Amino acid sequence: MASDKKIVLVTGGNTGLGYETVKALYQTDTPYELIIGCRTISKGETAIATLRTEVPQSPSSLSTLHVDLESDASLENAVESIASRFAGRLDVLVNNGGGTFDQHVPAGNLSLREAWNKSWETNVTGTHVLTTLAVPLLLKSADPRLLFITSGTSALKGTEDNVTPAMQRLNFNPEPGWPKKELGLSSYPAYRAAKTGLNMVMREWNRLLMRDGVKVWAVSPGFLATGLTGVGRGEMLLKGARDPATGGQFVKDVIQGKRDEDVGLVVGPGRVQPW
């Protein structure tokens, strides 16, 4: 069916920054078809129930969609479902789904190779495959927007930053010798490398789709107290992380046109992130 509402797919939309992005859009007066992409439909349905409790009145519609970034069949089915429901159109794709797997190596759950491959499969490869499948739908939009959620840890320039406590933890030089002791947030090299790679994926899509009128960004929402690293919300807040709702509001602002002058760049609150 055709819809007058803007159609927005947020992968990983049932939790963390994805959930807060959906919520921020759901709270506005602008009507959207908000599609929560998730690996487990029941979790998406729980997220919808929570949203409707937190925001009793909205002109927007909510639905779930099975999106598994490690399964081509899931991604193909997801895009086919959107095409069937909305006359082949998608207005906004927020590539938010991803994960960290470095912490599973010392825990013995994954080998080093498995953790690195899973980091790239989830954060980069799956996202690129989904985007490739979704482009024909975006090209039917009057105002197509394509967002890749990256990280402040992805900037190569940021590896020289030892000013803030968060970057000091990330860029800490450990004592000589081997093996190195795990040191909190300094132990996520696969995640950082994958997000740096995702920035290049964004640049490629910006190059490919510029003359088609698709606006493309990587969005770096800042250090947020999500469950991404497996560390509890309270501990994250103590380390200086912000409420994920602030990140959701920022992603909403990008979707609604407040960073259109920075198309093709990595945008964060109040700044363009260096490469």
Kindly list the catalytic residues: 151, 191, 195
Other Cβ atoms less than 10 A from the Cβ of 168: the count is 13
What are the Cα distances from residue 176, in Å, to 179, 181, 185, 187? 9, 10, 19, 16
SS3 43: helix
Residues across the chain: 275
d(CA 77, CA 42): 18
DSSP result, 49-71: HHHHHH----S-EEEEEE--TT-
Token pair, residue 263, equals: 């198309």
Give the distance between the most distant pair of CA atoms in the chain: 63
d(CA 125, CA 22): 23
**Do residues 251 and 22 touch, judged by C-beta distance below 8 A?**
no
**Do residues 133 and 250 touch, judged by C-beta distance below 8 A?**
no
